[in-house]
Structure formats: structure tokens, C-alpha cells
Amino acid sequence: MTPVKNPPMMTATRSSKSRAAFKARPIQKSSISDDIVQQIMKQISSGNLKPGERLPSERDLCKSFNTGRSSLREALRCLSIMGVLTARVGEGTSVSTDGSKFLETVMQWRFITEKYDIRNLMETRISLEGLAAASSAERATEDEIAALEILIERMEGFVDDAKRYGALDLEFHLGIARASQNQVIYDLVSLIRGQLVRALAEVLVVPDARPRSTEEHKGIISSIRKRNPEAARKAMQAHLEAAITRYEDAHVSS
């Protein structure tokens, strides 16, 4: 894990005098908290610790790991900030039941540290959501389809409210991702959507954008209801392409 030592860095170009090349492997000294984090994660992955299960108290864990409370707490805190553990005063620490919170948190950070190019994001999104739509056409339940249709109706009531409309739009796209019955797609779509959230807000304020968007949504859900994967994919991709165009137009004019 987290490297503690610098790479070898053979200082060959040192001076005139040549030295015997001394081979050595850098000592790996991982910190205590790193170790604890690893151990706990391993216990979780091995099923030894199940979601919702409670860990021993911090003071007990100190004895088990034979370590000070600070080191232990650094590990626990790290895991709980990342959403793997949930700690409550007076109640103890337990494994989080909602694992998705983890990805969510982390992606929020990813978006902070690294800015992706919007075109790259949209390009990837077109591919992923196309797949989501196609998969939904194959595997969405009747209930899911019905819910999406209702969602569209609700959106029509908010064509004049960019903010509300945007929220429902997000719900629509995530709904399709979920209806694909593919957790990977859902995670990735929501991930990318998180990165795009600022840019998309600009798109939907474009005049005329929302009515068009609604029509395109109807086309998508219609293809899904007809269980036509390729049509659904194409409809979704066309929808997103159109969104890009709207975005770029707005960007140029501003």
C-alpha cells in the first residue's frame, strides 16, 4: 500500500570515483494504521465481518492489535470517512450497510482532484448510457418502465422550472441505468453524471431545451417498452448527442 520509501534512486552519477554496485531492496515499512486498514478490509471482504455487524470497541481493538489508540483510530477514522465503517458515540462502530455511499464519497473526491474533459466525459457517457438503454430494453421490469413513464409525465409539468426539471432528468437517466439490472453500469453512469453536473445545469437553461429533451425521453422509453434494444440505444445516444449540441451552442453564444 501507501509507499513509505522513495524508489531506489541509485545515485550512479555521483562523482569520479566508481563504486561497487550494491544491490539492495528498499525496506518496506508500512505504518501501523495502514496495516490495520488492510486487515479490516480483508476481514470485510472475506465475509468475516458482515455489513451491519458491530466491531469490538476501540479500546478492545487496541488490545487485539496490540497498538495505541491513536493508530487504531487513524485507521478506523479513515475507513469511516470513506464510508466503509459507521461510528456513533455511545453506540460503537459497525460495518456500513450501504456500500454505495463509499463509491459516492470517493467519486466526489475524484471530481475534486482531477478534472476530466467534458467532451471525453460525454463521449463515454453516450456509450455507457446507450448500453444502459439497450440493456433496459431487454431486462427492465414492467414496474420500472411504468415508473419511468410516470416520471416523464411529471417532467412535463416542470418544463418551466429548470432546476426541478434537471433533478427529474437526473432521476430519469439513473432510472434507466438501474433498470439495466447492471450494477456496474449504474455506478459508472452516476459517477460520470456527477462529474457533469455543473455543465448540464447550463444545458437545460437553454431556451427550448427542455421541451425537446422531453420528446427525446419519450422516444427512449417507447423503445424500451417495445423491448427493442438497438432502437433504445440509438434513441438514447441521439438524445445525448443533441444535448451536446445544445451545450455547445449555449457555450458559444455566451
Looking up cell 455566451 gives 254
CB 174, min distance to a second copy, A: 16
In order, the DSSP letters of 91-156 are TEEEE-S-THHHHHHHHHHHHHH-PPPHHHHHHHHHHHHHHHHHHHHHH--HHHHHHHHHHHHHHH
- Residue 232 binds a second copy, judged by CB under 8 A: no
CB 162, min distance to a second copy, A: 26
112, 143, 160, 207: which one binds a second copy (CB under 8 A) = 112
- Residue 251 binds a second copy, judged by CB under 8 A: no
**H helix or E strand, kind and range, residue 190:** helix 183-204
- Residue 114 binds a second copy, judged by CB under 8 A: yes
* Spatial separation of the C-alpha atoms in residues 227 and 230, rounded to whole Å: 9
71, 124, 182, 222: which one binds DNA (CB under 7 A) = 71
77, 115, 119, 198: which one binds DNA (CB under 7 A) = 77
Per-residue x/- track, 14-33, a second copy (CB under 8 A): -------------------x
Residue 206 corresponds to which cell in the numbers above?
A: 437553454
* Residues near DNA (CB under 7 A), total: 32
> Which pairs count as long-range contacts for 145-151, CB under 8 Å and 24+ apart, including other chains?
145/179, 145/221, 145/224, 145/225, 147/175, 148/172, 148/175, 148/176, 148/179, 148/221, 148/224, 149/221, 149/225, 151/175
Nearest of 37, 39, 56, 50 to residue 96 by alpha carbon: 50
Of a second copy, DNA, none, which one does residue 102 interact with (CB within 5 to 8 Å by kind)? a second copy
- Residue 143 binds a second copy, judged by CB under 8 A: no
Residues forming a β-bridge with 92: 88
**H helix or E strand, kind and range, residue 225:** helix 209-225
Of a second copy, DNA, none, which one does residue 58 interact with (CB within 5 to 8 Å by kind)? DNA
> What are φ and ψ of residue 86, in 5° steps?
-130, 120
Report 87-126 residues binding DNA (CB under 7 A).
87-93
CB 23, min distance to DNA, A: 18
- Residue 52 binds DNA, judged by CB under 7 A: no
Contact between residue 40 and residue 58 where contact means Cβ atoms under 8 Å apart: no
Residue among 124 and 149 whose Cβ is closer to a second copy? 124
> Which residues bind to a second copy, rule: CB under 8 A?
1-6, 33-34, 37, 41-42, 44-45, 70, 73-75, 77-78, 80-84, 86, 88, 99, 102-103, 105-106, 109-110, 112-114, 116-117, 120-121, 123-124, 127-128, 130-131, 135, 182-185, 188, 192
